Amino acid sequence: MTSLPPPGEGSPSPATDPPVDPILDSIADPVADPVIDTQNERLDDGVNRCPKCGSTEIQLRPSAGMLICLFCRHEWSEARLDETIDNGDLATLTGTTMGSGATDIDTAADSLITMKCQGCGAEVVVNTEAQMGSRCHWCRHVLTINEQVPNGAVPDAVLPFKVTHDDAVARIDAFAGKRRMFAHRAFLRDFEPDNIVGVYMPYMVVDSNASADIAGVGEVQTRKYTRGSGDDKETFYDADVYEVQRHVDFTVDDLTIESSADRANIDSSVNTNNIINTILPFDTENAVKWNASYLTGYTSEKRDQDVAHLVPVVENQLLSIARSQVESSVDRYDRGVRWERERLEVHGTRWVAMYLPVWLYSYYHEESGKGMVHYIAVNGRTGEVMGSVPVSHPRLLAAAAAVGGIIEILVIAILVAAG
Amino acid sequence: MIAALFAELASSMALVAAEDDGAPVFLLLAGPAGAGGTYFLAWRYYRNTHTSHGYERETRIEAKPVTGNEAKVKEITGTKKSGIDGDNRSDHRRRVQRLD
C-alpha cells in the first residue's frame, strides 16, 4: 500500500499547478476515451411500426415488461443493454468510457424536435423536456424519437416500468394512511393518490475501478478505573494511541447518480428530492436498449448534466464506499477511530445514461410563506416507497405536550413519594 | 381543575428543586425532553428528511482484502473521556482532508 503523508501535508497543490483528476484527465484525452455506440440501429425518429403488423400503436405492458402492439397484441422486447455491449472485468477497467447516449450535451441543441410524419407528411413537434413521442394530429400515427440527438434526451438505455399504476396507487395510499394522525389537514383533504404520474427520471449508471488510502488515529483502551468515593467517584481511562492506515482496491457496479441538476440538489430544508433518491437502487442490469415506445403514456425528464459535472459526486460516493469497506478492519480500536486524511485513485469508469421508472405523487404545500413540493415516490421496479407528508404543527405540538406532561407527572409523583 | 393541576405541579417542582443533592431537579427535565423527543420523532416519521439511498450497502461492490499498518505513537493516562475525539469510523459520508 502507499503511505499517506501526515496531517497538513499533501494538501491540494497551488493554483498554478492544478490537481490532476484521473477521471477528468481521461475525459480530455480522446484516445483513452472510447465511446460505446448504443444507438438502436433498428429504430429511427418518426414512425416506428410493430414488427408483425406494422401498426404504430405500441406501448409498454408493465406486468410483462414487454412492448405490446395494441392492434395485433404482438409482444416483444428490446435486448438488454448488458448483452449488447462488452462489459468486461471491472477490475481491469481503465480510463473513461461512456455510452453514446451519455456524451456531452450540446447547449445549442433545442429541446423541441420537429419530425415529419412518414404517414402523411405533416410536421409534428415533440418537447423532449417531458416526452419522447407524439401523435400526428392529422393521420393519428404515433411518432417517437429514437436517434441520439445531442440534447441529452435520448439515453443509452431504459428500464421499463414493472409496477403497475394500480399497485403504485395502493402503495402510496398505504404509506399516507399510516401518517394520517398528524398530517396537515389540507394534505388529507386534497389527497388523491390516483393522480400519480409515471416518470422516467434521468440517471448516470457508473461502473468504477478504484483504490483508496485512508489514514487517521485509533485508540485502544488499556485500563478503566475509578477514583474517589460516594458522590465524588469518577471513572478514568488509559489508552494506547495508534497511527492507522488502510488501503482498499475495489470495484463498484452500477452506481446510480441523478443526472438532472434539479433532482441532484438534495437539500431537505428546501426540497424533498431526497425522497426520490431514497427509493434507489434499481435493477439496472435489466435495462434495455432505447426504444421510445417504452415511454408511451409516461412522462420523462431530460438529462442536463454531463459526465464532467458528475465526477465530483461519483468520487465522493467512492470515498464513502471505501470508508465503509475499511470499517470492519479497525474493530480492535475499541475507543474509536478518527480518520483524518483520504486519497482516491480512480483507475477507470464507465458511464451509461439511463431512464429509470418512478411513480410520483406530488403535493405543493405552503407554510409561513415558504412553499415546498412534497413527494411520495414509488420505485417503478421494486415497489419501494418513500415520501414526505406535511405536518400539522398544532396537532403534533398537542401530542408532544401531552406525552411530556404525563412523563412529568410520573416523575413528580415518584419524587414526592420518595421525599 | 387544570389550574389546580398546574398549581400542584408548581408546588411539587418548587419542593423538589429545593432538594440539597440536586439530582431530582435534573429528573424534572424528563418531561420537556420527552415532549421534544416525541415531536422530533413524529415529525421525522412524516417528513423523512434524513433518508437517502444507502449506496455503500445497496450497490454491488467487490473489494480485495483491506491492507494497512498501524504504529503506536503514544499512551494516554487518566482521561475522563470514554472514547476518541471526533470518532468518524461509521460516519462514512463525512469527508476529511483529501490528498492528491
B9, pLDDT greater than 60: no
Q: Is B55–A280 a contact, with Cβ atoms under 8 angstroms apart?
A: yes
Distance CA B59, CA A252 (A): 7
CB B99 within 8 A of CB A10: yes
* pLDDT value, residue A25: 53
The cell for A371 is 412553499
- Grid coordinates given for A243: 497511527
In the A/B pair of chains, how many CB contacts fall below 8 A?
274
Going by C-alpha positions, the residue among A138, A179, A340 that lies closest to residue A246 is A340
pLDDT in tens, A137-190: 888 888 888 887 788 889 999 999 999 999 999 999 999 999 999 999 999 999
Q: Which of A10-24, A83-97, A341-355 has the lowest mean pLDDT?
A: A10-24
End-to-end CA distance of chain A: 64
Answer yes or no: are the C-beta atoms of A299 and A130 closer than 8 Å.
yes
pLDDT digits (tens, 9 = 90+) for B63-76: 999 999 999 999 99
Residues of B in Cβ contact (< 8 Å) with A219 = 76, 83-84
DSSP sequence for B18-49:
T-SSSHHHHHTTHHHHHHHHHHHHHHHHHH-T
In sequence order, which residues have a C-beta less than 8 Å from that of residue A83 and are 6 or more positions away? none
Best of A3, A415, A416 to disrupt the B interface by mutation (most B CBs within 10 Å)? A415
Average pLDDT estimate for A90-109 = 91
Mutate to test the interface with B, among A2, A237, A333, A356 (most CBs of B within 10 A): A237
Beta bridge partners of A67: A60, A76
pLDDT for res B3: 43
**Segment (H or E) for A202:** strand A197-227
Q: Which residues of A touch B21 (CB under 8 A)?
A: 231
Torsion of CA A211, A215, A221, A222, to 10 degrees: 100
CA distance A37 to chain B (A): 25
Q: Work out the mean pLDDT of chain A and round it to a whole number.
A: 89
pLDDT at residue B13 greater than cutoff 80: no
User: How many beta carbons lie within 10 A of that of residue B64, not counting itself?
Assistant: 13
> Which of A12, A242, A275 has the CB atom closest to B100's CB atom?
A12
Task: Provide the pLDDT for residue A289.
Answer: 92
B47·A388 Cβ contact <8 A: yes
**Residues A273, A279, A281, A283, CA torsion sign:** negative
Strands (DSSP E) found in A55-185: 58-61, 66-69, 75-76, 95-99, 112-116, 123-127, 133-135, 142-144, 157-158
What number is the average pLDDT over the span A357-380?
Answer: 94
Q: At A72, list the grid cell.
A: 395485433
* Residues in contact with A217: Cβ distance below 8 Å, sequence separation at least 6, in sequence order: A241, A242, A243, A244, A337, A338, A340, B73, B84
Q: How confident is the model at residue A18 (pLDDT cuts 50, 70, 90)?
A: very low
Q: Report how far apart the first and last C-alpha atoms of chain B are (Å, whole number).
A: 70
Amino acid at A356: L
* pLDDT the model gives residue B2: 38
For chain B, how many helices (H) and strands (E)? 4, 3
Phi then psi for residue A60, to 5 deg, are -80, 140
Record: contact B35-A401, CB cut-off 8 A:
yes
Q: Where are the alpha helices (DSSP H) in A9-80?
A: 22-28
Omega before A281 within 30 of 0, i.e. cis:
yes
B20 and A CB contact within 8 Å: no
Q: What is the pLDDT of residues A248-260, one digit of tens each?
A: 999 999 999 999 9
Do you know the residue count of chain A?
Answer: 419
Determine the residue type at A71.
F
Question: What's the CA gap between A272 and A281, in Å, rounded?
Answer: 18
> Are B96 and A222 a contacting pair at CB < 8 A?
no
Residue A247: list chain B partners with CB under 8 A.
66-68
Q: Which residues of A287-326 are buried (b: 16+ CB within 10 A; e: fewer)?
A: bbbbbbbbbbebebbbbbbbbebbbebbbebbbbbbbbbb
Rounded to the nearest angstrom, the minimum Cα separation between A222 and chain B is 9
Q: Is B58 on the interface with A (CB under 8 A)?
A: yes
Instruction: Report the residue from A239, A391, A404 with minimal CB separation from B43.
Output: A391
- pLDDT tens, A188-236? 999 999 999 999 999 999 999 999 999 999 999 999 999 988 878 899 9
Give the residue from A182, A191, A273, A335 with the most B CB atoms within 10 Å of its CB, the best one to mutate.
Answer: A335
The Cα A12–Cα A328 span in angstroms is 29
Name the residue of chain A whose CA is nearest to B51's CA.
A278
Round to whole Å and give the CA distance between A139 and A133. Answer: 15
Question: Is the predicted pLDDT of residue A118 greater than 90, yes or no?
Answer: no
Is A329 in Cβ contact with B48 (below 8 Å)?
no
Cell of residue B57, nine digits:
450497502
Looking at beta carbons, which residues of chain A come within 8 Å of B27? 411, 415
pLDDT at A245: 98
> Which residue in A347, A325, A127 sits closest to A214, CA to CA?
A325
> What's the pLDDT band for B59 if we cut at 50, 70, 90?
very high
Residue appearing with cell numbers 392529422: A138
B31, B38, B77 member nearest A411 (Cβ): B31
Helix (H) or strand (E) holding B71: strand B67-79
Reply yes or no on whether the pLDDT at B14 is more than 70: no
Asked whether the beta carbons of residue A340 and residue B90 sit closer than 8 angstroms, the reply is no
| Residues on chain A touching B48 (C-beta within 8 angstroms) | 274-275, 278, 386-388
The nearest CA of chain A is from the CA of B14 a distance in Å of: 11
Give the span between the Cα atoms of A10 and A33, in whole angstroms.
29
Residue A109 has pLDDT above 70, yes or no: yes
User: In whole angstroms, what is the distance from residue B61 CA to residue B84 CA?
Assistant: 30
- Which residues of chain B have a CB within 8 Å of the CB of A356? none
Query: Could you tell me which of A274, A300, A271 has the C-alpha nearest to residue A373?
Result: A271
